[in-house]
């Protein structure tokens, strides 16, 4: 049985994972330049073949993930009913998931199978029901709660997450969506900080039950 994990979730020094005004050319909104700069460092490290914590992090992320759940705002910038169903995410024809990926939305639409094995499922079911479907799909691999903050907060508050890899990047977003709001911080009472480690210019914390 795999774990339910939040992997590679990144916030700013002031605790935001996205800024205001999410839009087509700024998927994370205002003041988010550099939020995921660590990821490029990690890919360079991995591609160098030298190994190290960056490579390990990416390898674990990709090899142990068997299904992903994300909020609709992570899937796209649209709100409300789908104007059309041509939008299939920010990631092009071959998204980096390669497994069943569940989009939490009030507006269901038919599943879409992409190149590379990613299938997007659009569901308005309760989050625990979606998690059960994702676990079934993942088998003995992990279910990744991808984001955004609102989705991760819901799963943390429901006590459904086993482990959280949280990165802090050296930027200020100033206004936006927080991950660790007061209610969520209080709900972390069963979590311990297992380790902290740098990746690129970010500091990561592994929080686990």
| Binding-site ranges for a copy of itself (CB under 8 A) | 13-16, 166, 168, 170-175, 178, 180, 182, 185-186, 188-189, 191-193, 195-196, 198, 201, 203, 205, 207
Decide whether 15 or 27 has the Cβ nearer to a copy of itself: 15
Whichever of 96 and 170 has its CB closer to a copy of itself, that residue is 170
The three-point CA angle 28-65-180 to 5° equals 45
**CB of residue 112 to a copy of itself, shortest distance in Å:** 37
Residue 147 Ramachandran class (φ > 0 left, ψ -120 to 50 alpha, else beta): left
- What is the nearest approach in angstroms of a copy of itself to the Cβ of residue 187? 8
- Please say which residue, 14 or 26, places its beta carbon nearer to a copy of itself: 14
CA-wise closest residue to 124 among 172, 156, 81: 81
State in angstroms the smallest separation of the CB of 184 from a copy of itself.
Answer: 8
In the complex, least distance from residue 189 CB atom to a copy of itself, rounded to whole angstroms: 6
CB of 148 to a copy of itself, least distance (A): 17
Q: Which residues contact 3 (CB under 8 A, 6 or more apart)?
A: 142, 143, 162, 163
**Residue 88 contacts residue 112 (beta carbons within 8 Å):** yes
Q: Please name every residue paired with 90 in a beta bridge, in sequence order, or none if there are none.
A: none
Question: Residue 205, exposed/middle/buried by CB under 10 A (0-12, 13-18, 19+)?
Answer: middle
Q: Residue 119 or residue 181: which is nearer to a copy of itself going by CB?
A: 181
Of the pair 53, 116, the CB lying nearest a copy of itself is at 53
């Amino acid at each position: 049985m795999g774990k339910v994990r939040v992997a590679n979730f990144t916030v700013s020094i002031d605790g935001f994972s996205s800024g205001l005004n999410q839009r087509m050319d700024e998927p994370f909104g205002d003041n988010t330049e550099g939020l995921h700069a660590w990821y490029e460092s990690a890919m360079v490290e991995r591609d160098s073949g030298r190994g190290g914590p960056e490579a390990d992090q990416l390898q674990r992320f990709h090899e142990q993930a068997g299904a992903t759940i994300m909020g609709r705002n992570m899937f796209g910038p649209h709100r409300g009913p789908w104007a059309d169903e041509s939008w299939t995410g920010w990631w092009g024809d071959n998204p980096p998931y390669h497994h069943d990926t569940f989009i939490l939305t009030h507006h269901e639409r038919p599943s879409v199978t992409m190149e590379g094995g990613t299938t997007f499922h659009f569901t308005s079911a309760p989050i625990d029901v979606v998690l059960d479907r994702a676990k079934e799909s993942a088998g003995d691999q992990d279910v990744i709660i991808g984001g955004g903050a609102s989705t991760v907060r819901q799963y943390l508050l429901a006590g459904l997450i086993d482990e959280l890899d949280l990165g802090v990047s050296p930027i200020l977003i100033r206004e936006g969506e927080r991950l660790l709001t007061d209610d969520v911080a209080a709900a972390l009472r069963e979590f311990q900080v297992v380790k902290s480690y740098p990746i690129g210019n970010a500091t990561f914390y592994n929080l686990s039950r």
